[in-house]
Chains A and B, each alone.
Chain A
Amino acid sequence: MKAWLDRYYQEESRRILATLIRLLGDFDLAEEALHEAFAAALVQWPRDGIPDNPRAWLVSAGRFRAIDQLRRRGRHHAAMEQLAHQLESEADTPEPPEEIADDRLRLIFTCCHPALSSEAQLALTLREICDLTTEEVARAFLAKPTTIAQRIVRAKAKIRDAGIPYEVPEGKALAERLPVVLHTLYLIFNEGYTAFSGAALVRGALAVEAIRLTRLLWQLLPEPEVAGLLALMLLHHARRDARVDASGELVPLEQQDRQRWHRDDIAQGRALLAEVMTRPGYGAYTLQAAIAAVHSEAPSYAATDWKQIIGLYTVLQGIAPSPVVALNRAVAVAMRDGPAAGLAGLDRIAAEPALADYQPLHAARADLLARLDRVEEAAEAYRRALTLCQLEPERRFLEKRLTELRCRSVAPSGD
């Protein structure tokens, strides 16, 4: 039973927490209530059996424990007593299941409220929706854990004190609020796809969760960019088994066994894309999905339609210019016109001071330099990429490339 509950906690606790936050209107009270509810389950379930609806049981147990808690504190505070009374009268009406189903989506809109700073929005979503630890969030922001903890405390206090509601906005307000939410879902997926640091490369559960939340949003709000983001996630998620080998090593797109791509995810992603690309209003996520779709239908890396990929990157650069897009475009140019042409593009980007520490840029330069047999410069670029690398499998991959390069310089091949 302990093991079963542990697993149940892993799978369901965030969903139950979201419901408790909505019902209690307070993150900290809800977090305490959640833990007390699981503690109660650990005592009662082995004795009485698992209830028919464990989630509803835990929500109800948590709610009543929070009311007790407020009562105890309320001896000195009339306001808390009043709140406890109000919660108690509400607790008589059972929660409709569809309300509970949407609670995480509501919580995303709360965490991504524009009255919170964008740093606070991200930190809070990763902490509360994705259950990252404060330390993991801190690593993602390259900040100290105490700074992040303070940011999260302040954000929660503002939600409570300024009266930010737990609801999905309607009509015009929904469209205004959407870009921030999409960006956050995109970052959650990325966290699942490539963990910020450490040994585990694919944290599948987070990626699946991001897809689930985006799908829910798409049902609720059929805007082209929601579908574009969902398609982008599905088309990348389809490669999950091919992008890491049996020993946990990173496999670049170029070397992936395309037989291992999940065709069902690709089919879903492509169907979504076909639906939205005929409609006005699509944007950067849809274009990135379209690029992933070109890859998904190519029989091999070399036989990819690079011309179409370059075209899509050019459009993307027009609506959402970024050095990262420019980098990817340069890599595609190298595939179509040869490594020298690609390198010229990369060197133009490398002049950008903001990109001095951008690891993929140095890794891409290293690769093109190696293909041009400029071994010394390639080794230097690999070393630079290695010093910036935070992800263990990526580090091993770069080290392998560097070693191959050294072998080549010691014993030049016959070609």
Chain B
Amino acid sequence: MNYLALVYYNEDLIRSMSQQEWDALNRECMACGEGLRESGHMLDGHALQLTDTATTVRLRDGKLTATDGPFAETKEQLAGFYLLTARDLNEAIQLAGKIPPLRLGSVEIRPVRELATEGNLAGKTPLIDHTARSDG
């Protein structure tokens, strides 16, 4: 049997971490993945960027719509996943548009991120707007 293990956490916990703590967690995840791959138990796996980057796609009356954010319909349950490779978000939306259950529910698109030993950026969006000027 193959099993899909889905990982959940409260993103606020991640945002409140220091860069060191966050990098340490990422290194742990890399080590965990390596161990499972070596023992032949891990087929594939990826970390996702935070839900800030999510786009939800729906198909209603033959019309494809994309909206900001993760889907929030509590009466919808996870039914499957596709790992897609696309040039950019526009292509990803068009590809997701081909998934048949889209007309029943929704598909949440999230970019995959690479784990790094340090300097992990996802979720660490700088809080200062370098371009916010008030001089006009």
Contacts and interface: CB of A to CB of B under 8 A. Distances in A.
A102 interface: no
B132 A152 contact: yes
Contact of A133 (B54, B94, B128, B134): B134
A162 B90 contact: no
A162 B53 contact: yes
Contacts of A27: 131
A162 B109 CA distance: 9
B133 A134 contact: yes
Contact of B66 (A114, A127, A167): A114
Interface stretch (A42-50, A153-161, A252-260): A153-161
B89 A153 contact: no
A115 B131 contact: no
B68 A117 contact: yes
A414 B92 CA distance: 75
A140 to B, nearest CB: 14
A134 B135 CA distance: 10
A241 interface: no
Interface string B29-49: 000000000000000000001
B132 A115 contact: no
A31 B131 contact: yes
A363 B116 CA distance: 61
A162 B111 contact: yes
B67 A115 contact: yes
A150 B52 CA distance: 13
Contacts of A169: 90
Contacts of A164: 88-90
A165 B55 CA distance: 14
Contacts of A161: 49, 52-53, 111, 122, 125
A13 to B, nearest CB: 12
A204 B48 CA distance: 46
Chain A at the B interface: SS class: helix
Contact of B132 (A149, A163, A167): A149
Interface in B84-129: 86-90, 92-94, 109, 111, 116, 119, 122, 125-129
Interface in A105-128: 113-117, 120, 127
B75 interface: no
A158 B110 CA distance: 11
A127 B136 CA distance: 10
Contacts of B67: 114-115
B21 to A, nearest CB: 19
Given A162-B89, A165-B90, A173-B94, A28 B130 contact: yes
Contacts of A72: none
Contacts of A135: 134
B88 A153 contact: no
Interface in A21-41: 27-28, 31-32
Given A114-B65, A117-B68, A135-B134, A163 B89 contact: yes
A134 B88 contact: no
A77 interface: yes
Contact of B64 (A116, A117, A136, A176): A176
B3 to A, nearest CB: 28
Given A115-B68, A161-B49, A173-B94, A134 B55 contact: no
Given A133-B136, A152-B129, A163-B88, A158 B65 contact: no
Nearest to A152: B129
A169 B93 CA distance: 12
Residue of A145, A157, A164 with most partner-chain B CB within 10 A: A157
A153 B66 contact: no
A279 interface: no
B119 A154 contact: no
Contacts of A136: 136
Given A161-B53, A162-B89, A120 B68 contact: yes
B52 A154 contact: yes
Contacts of B128: 153
Given A120-B68, A133-B134, A165 B88 contact: yes
Contacts of A154: 52, 125
A134 B111 contact: no
A31 B89 contact: no
Contacts of A77: 119
A269 to B, nearest CB: 31
Given A32-B130, A115-B66, A158-B53, 11 more contacts: A115-B89, A117-B69, A134-B132, A149-B132, A161-B53, A161-B111, A162-B109, A163-B88, A165-B87, A165-B89, A167-B90
7 contacts: A31-B131, A127-B131, A133-B133, A133-B134, A134-B134, A157-B53, A158-B52
The 4 A-B residue pairs whose C-beta atoms are closest, nearest first, are: A165-B88, A115-B55, A157-B125, A162-B53
